[in-house]
Structure 1
Amino acid sequence: MKKITTLIIMLSICISLNVKAQSKETLEMQKKVMATEKESDKKIAIMNSIIRDFQLDTVKNAEVIDIMKGEIALSYLNTGTFTKFEIYIGMIKNKFNQTSFMNMGADMLLKNESHPDYTEALAKRTIERYEAYKDDPAARPATFLLSDWDRFMKMAAYPYYESYARILHINGKDKMAFIYQEKAIKGHELEDLMPSSTELYAVLLESVGRDDQAYELLLKMAKKGKSSLAMNTQLKQLFVKRKGTEADASIFLDSIQRNIGQTWKSEIAKKMIQNQSAPDFNLLDLNGKRMNLSELRGKVIVIDFWATWCAPCIATMPAMKKLYDLHPEVMFLFVATGESGTAAAAKARVSTYIKENKFPVNVLMDNYIEGTKSFQAATAYRLKGIPTKIVVDKQGMFRFSTEGYTTDNEVINELEAMIAIAKEQ
């Protein structure tokens, strides 16, 4: 299930078709310039220039203008200028665009852990406005097909209600948070939602006294290999409350993990790459030491391609940390690729992340290939995206590749199976 920011991106793609085809590319370039500008006043100047230079009509191109005003509103919110945030949010004509940016604003404040009272009030107003127009035919812009509008309304309920539930939970109002989290997940299979959604629901179930329901939910997720580390911790605590000691809980959870591990291994074995040597690379670590992959032959190697700007890459780090701790016999290499700016700026950014988070270790900087938009190791392994994990066996053979991030347990289960199979080669 995608977040509301995805809806805005989809909306932006649709509405850009209203602009003349010959100027679309240039317009998109100007919109990117505006999106990267940090200062609100400069954003306003760029927006006014775009409207003037591309002769955007306030009716025909209202959606494009809405999104630019929403970006300005968020830039003011980021600096705590609430009055101007409210002014620009009020300028947005499409009610869906308006509540989308309000929700993004609430999420921004939540992430920054600032102004909890205003954050809660903003999330509440987002829901009130959404509920006021979602079933109103007059709220649908003429440029929207009815089917598209209905789809957007249904998709919006999940992030809107969950943002409010999460804020209420942080503010210590779990009874009300539970009501809105139930609204958020209504009509969805929990295992198909973001892991953070199921985590929050399980915590709220326990908080309102529904321990048995929380336990059954977490047990179901664990047995399917779809739980996160936080879910496993809560499941262990609930097991102890119900049935005994921490030792008993560990034995019980380990048995679940063993069963899952055998299932994963059988499935993963079918995906093993045959007769392909792992491409060598020659990269520097953060201390300037050069490393060649070929020099590590004799060990199973896991290569994690990641970047500081990649949210799924960062989300997978707790799982990778657990795997690193579990397998001292395996060589883990974390290749930072796709970092923007000069090599020095990229290295500084990665170093700062490592220092703040104390992980990952064995970090290598991928080499930018001058005159291209590609990087040496990423190109050698034909990456389609990140995060991507590569598993190389002791003989230097490229055995597995896996992309993306779902839950901590799925990352752990998949790589555990790959490592086990690679050891047997």
Structure 2
Amino acid sequence: MKFSFVLIAALCVFVNTQAQGQRLKMTPERPYIGDTVNLLYHPDAALLATGKPIKGAVYIYDTTYHWNAVDLQMKATDSGYTFTIPLTADKGLWAFKFRAGDAVDNAHDTGYIIMGSVPGRQWKAAYAGYGTLRAKRYELGIPQYYTDFQISDTAMFFWMGQEIGYWRAGRTFILPYVKARALSERQAGLNPDSSKTINSAAAYMLKAPNLSQKDLYTLALIFDQYLHKKETADSLYKVTSGIVKKQADYKAIQVAKTPDERLKLSEQFVKNYPPDRELDALAGIDYDRGVYRNIFAIYIAKNDTSVLAKYINTCPFSELALAYYKMVEIPYADWKTMSAKDAYSFSQRIMDRLAYLKAHKPEEFYYYTPSEFIEYIDKSFRYNYITHATILKEIGREKEALTQVLKMQEEWNYSNASLNQLEASLLEKAGDKKKLEEVLHNSVRMNQASAQIIDLLKKDYLKTHKDTEGFDAYLNSMKDAHTMELLREHVKSAMIEREAVPFEMKDLDGKMVSLAAQKGKIVVLDFWATWCAPCKAAMPGMQMAQEHFKNDSNVVFYFVDTQERDPEYKEKVKKFIKEKKYPFKVLFDNGDEFYSKYAKLIQTSGIPFKVVINGNGKIRFAQIGYMGSPSGLADEIETMISLSK
């Protein structure tokens, strides 16, 4: 019986490998451990359509029951992409994935998989690898390999049982084996407490020699959570006092009543206990969210920046992202309260740490290949890289900044207005007119142009034209027609028709402005606040939109200052508008009276909040947020106004 299960599994796997759309072919067709497999991959249409390089990864499950992620070294040929894989005896399963840009080919979520085998049976780790890879919820495989595919708990129990039965892997897999069995029995209406299978497995394991702390703690969990035998569980917890004490100290952090107490306990925890990924996972200990997040959040709230120097070399990767946002992005990029020189000391330290991590992938990211991990870091920090390059420019390191910008454009491809503006300013200073012209035109083509880029284009336009009368048409001719059509369709789909809320608000000079007085006109309301970074970031785009309608007396823009916290906010607003030289008509909300009414009417929240009202007093558009492109925002507002007419 045991042999027949093995043979059936082996045959199924080999058939599966060869039936995967014929995009991955291997020679020999049924390889064994010790063979070197030659593979030929034909990219599918989705990958080819991206125009991006084809990359491959192999996720290997070894006979110590650990995953390793490796970049494939593939050679492009007329027939496809070729590579070889040696099926060595220290490995049990190989799972392949191919990608180009964001497109991924994993055989339509069925997997490209080779299970290690020898004649008549599967090799060690093949069963376990096949089960854990396809049961994502058990968190023992490669989390990003499948998108939606999941095997049942019964299937997981089968694969764990095969590995345990044939390769005596009970110490490693008894917990997922018991969990899968318990879930299956509950689904069948049975009580796992009285399960002969679970009781037998636990009793057998309990008698095994030389049990480690992990083995004993695993058994304690099984007797506690699945068999509900408190006396046995407690006796096992007593002999695993190390992890039990660690877990208790971790729980104390979570229930601490004050930030100071939580900080003290978190810092002491880091000193007392080194991370142990497998044991920590069993005990429910999360160093990231449960420990280091407290340390960084509380230090930063206290405005104590020493946390970076103190913990940068030991903290989880995600805390670097939090530190950059809180210590650089907000004070330097958003609030403008930090100089570039001061921001550089924090920004560069984090960038140096990222460079180190790229070369020394942390153990917890086992499921990424080296290149995937670098891409993961770069994607996580893609906006921060722009900020860092801006800092470099401001402290006089233009060449270094330009080098980084050019590298970033390989990924962004002119789809970020801030990056385009930064590159344009660096190229202008460097005197590279040819490259500058390319950036200006590509920025407009992608509809990711800043006001400064538009000004540079206008300046260039005036070299060959007597005035700017035809400039708008010239600008529109550069924009991608398909992109503009998609924008118009997107805006049109968001049209609404609701009665606008009548308002009366005072402007900067104390003059009362009402909606009733604007009858017959298109009214654009932009709700903003001095503390709102996205609101202020959107203003250059709003200025461009307002400039477009400067000769149209039937279109008016009002910038409604709302939700202010500073008692002197009116003076603060006046100063901001004057410094930025914005030609805006600012109105002061009564606290947040009219913002609240409009937000309630639209059933939304947050600022910036833009509302377009037609000449009949009907709201036609309402939009929350800012996507980052001044020219894109201007085109959206212009389209809304055009459709509202």
TM over 0.5: yes
Q: How many pairs align?
A: 366
Q: Is the 8 A contact 1:236 1:246 kept in 2?
A: no
- CA 1:114–1:162 in 2, change beyond 3 Å: closer, same or farther? same
Secondary structure in structure 2 of the residue aligned to 1:398: strand
Q: How far apart, CA to CA, are the structure 1 residues paired with 2:592 and 2:341?
A: 45
Choose from 552, 562, 572 the match for 1:352.
572
1:152 Cα deviation from its structure 2 partner? 4.0
1:379 Cα deviation from its structure 2 partner? 0.8
Choose from 472, 494, 502 the match for 1:281.
502
Q: How far apart, CA to CA, are the structure 2 residues paired with 1:222 and 1:172?
A: 28
- Superposed, which structure 2 residues align to 1:95-106 within 5 Å? 95=317, 97-98=319-320, 101=323, 105-106=327-328
Q: Which residue of 2 aligns with 1:165?
A: 389
Amino acid across the alignment from 1:349: Y
- Superposed, which structure 2 residues align to 1:172-251 within 5 Å? 172-191=396-415, 193=416, 195-238=417-460, 244-245=463-464, 247=466, 250=468
1:132 Cα deviation from its structure 2 partner? 1.3
Matched, 1:391 2:603: no
Decide which moves more: 116-125 or 207-216.
116-125
Q: Which residue of 2 aligns with 1:10?
A: none
Amino acid across the alignment from 2:625: G
Q: How far apart, CA to CA, are the structure 1 residues paired with 2:447 and 2:308?
A: 44
1:200 Cα deviation from its structure 2 partner? 0.8
1:229 Cα deviation from its structure 2 partner? 0.6
Q: Which residue of 1 aligns with 2:296?
A: 70
Amino acid across the alignment from 1:365: D
Q: Which residue of 1 aligns with 2:585?
A: 361
Q: How far apart, CA to CA, are the structure 2 residues paired with 1:247 and 1:130?
A: 51
Q: Is the 8 A contact 1:261 1:413 kept in 2?
A: no
- CA 1:118–1:332 in 2, change beyond 3 Å: closer, same or farther? closer
Q: How far apart, CA to CA, are the structure 2 residues paired with 1:127 and 1:54?
A: 25
Q: How far apart, CA to CA, are the structure 1 residues paired with 2:387 and 2:537?
A: 19
Secondary structure in structure 2 of the residue aligned to 1:227: coil
Q: CA offsets per residue over residues 202-236 of structure 1, 9 Å max, x none?
A: 22234444322221221122234331111112333
Amino acid across the alignment from 2:399: K
Structure 1 unaligned blocks of 5 or more: 1-17, 31-45
Q: Which residue of 2 aligns with 1:403?
A: 624
Q: Is the 8 A contact 1:225 1:409 kept in 2?
A: yes
Q: Which residue of 2 aligns with 1:332?
A: 557
Decide which moves more: 310-319 or 151-160.
151-160
- CA 1:96–1:136 in 2, change beyond 3 Å: closer, same or farther? farther
Q: Which residue of 1 aligns with 2:525?
A: 303
Q: Is the 8 A contact 1:313 1:387 kept in 2?
A: yes
Q: How far apart, CA to CA, are the structure 1 residues paired with 2:488 and 2:384?
A: 40
Q: Is the 8 A contact 1:313 1:386 kept in 2?
A: yes
Higher strand residue share: 2
1:199 Cα deviation from its structure 2 partner? 1.0
- CA 1:179–1:285 in 2, change beyond 3 Å: closer, same or farther? same
Q: How far apart, CA to CA, are the structure 1 residues paired with 2:465 and 2:300?
A: 46
Matched, 1:49 2:253: no
Q: How far apart, CA to CA, are the structure 2 residues paired with 1:127 and 1:163?
A: 11
- CA 1:156–1:135 in 2, change beyond 3 Å: closer, same or farther? farther
Decide which moves more: 176-185 or 109-118.
109-118
Q: Which residue of 2 aligns with 1:413?
A: 635
1:187 Cα deviation from its structure 2 partner? 2.6
Secondary structure in structure 1 of the residue aligned to 2:350: helix
Secondary structure in structure 1 of the residue aligned to 2:359: coil
Q: Which residue of 1 aligns with 2:42?
A: none
- CA 1:198–1:417 in 2, change beyond 3 Å: closer, same or farther? same
Amino acid across the alignment from 2:348: K
Amino acid across the alignment from 1:66: Y
Secondary structure in structure 2 of the residue aligned to 1:390: strand
Q: Normalising by structure 1, report the TM-score.
A: 0.69
Secondary structure in structure 1 of the residue aligned to 2:411: coil
Q: CA offsets per residue over residues 62-93 of structure 1, 9 Å max, x none?
A: 324323333455467x6xx77x4555445853
- CA 1:390–1:168 in 2, change beyond 3 Å: closer, same or farther? same
Matched, 1:312 2:534: yes
Secondary structure in structure 1 of the residue aligned to 2:524: strand
Q: How far apart, CA to CA, are the structure 2 residues paired with 1:72 and 1:118?
A: 21
Amino acid across the alignment from 1:401: A
- CA 1:233–1:356 in 2, change beyond 3 Å: closer, same or farther? same
- CA 1:61–1:409 in 2, change beyond 3 Å: closer, same or farther? same
Amino acid across the alignment from 2:599: A
Q: Normalising by structure 2, report the TM-score.
A: 0.48
Q: How far apart, CA to CA, are the structure 1 residues paired with 2:466 and 2:363?
A: 57
Q: How far apart, CA to CA, are the structure 2 residues paired with 1:305 and 1:176?
A: 39
Matched, 1:129 2:341: no
Q: Which residue of 2 aligns with 1:377?
A: 598
Q: Is the 8 A contact 2:446 2:480 kept in 1?
A: no
Q: How far apart, CA to CA, are the structure 2 residues paired with 1:72 and 1:272?
A: 41
- CA 1:285–1:48 in 2, change beyond 3 Å: closer, same or farther? same
Higher helix residue share: 1
Amino acid across the alignment from 2:262: I
1:353 Cα deviation from its structure 2 partner? 2.3
Q: CA offsets per residue over residues 246-290 of structure 1, 9 Å max, x none?
A: 646x4563223455699569647844746x342323454367776
- CA 1:375–1:162 in 2, change beyond 3 Å: closer, same or farther? closer
1:166 Cα deviation from its structure 2 partner? 1.6
Name the % identity. 20
Q: How far apart, CA to CA, are the structure 2 residues paired with 1:113 and 1:367?
A: 25
Q: Which residue of 2 aligns with 1:40?
A: none
Report the aligned-residue RMSD. 4.3
- CA 1:187–1:282 in 2, change beyond 3 Å: closer, same or farther? closer
- CA 1:203–1:398 in 2, change beyond 3 Å: closer, same or farther? same
Q: How far apart, CA to CA, are the structure 2 residues paired with 1:410 and 1:24?
A: 46
Q: Is the 8 A contact 1:261 1:417 kept in 2?
A: no
Amino acid across the alignment from 1:63: D
Structure 2 unaligned blocks of 5 or more: 1-246, 276-284
Secondary structure in structure 1 of the residue aligned to 2:572: helix
Amino acid across the alignment from 2:604: L
Q: Is the 8 A contact 1:278 1:396 kept in 2?
A: yes
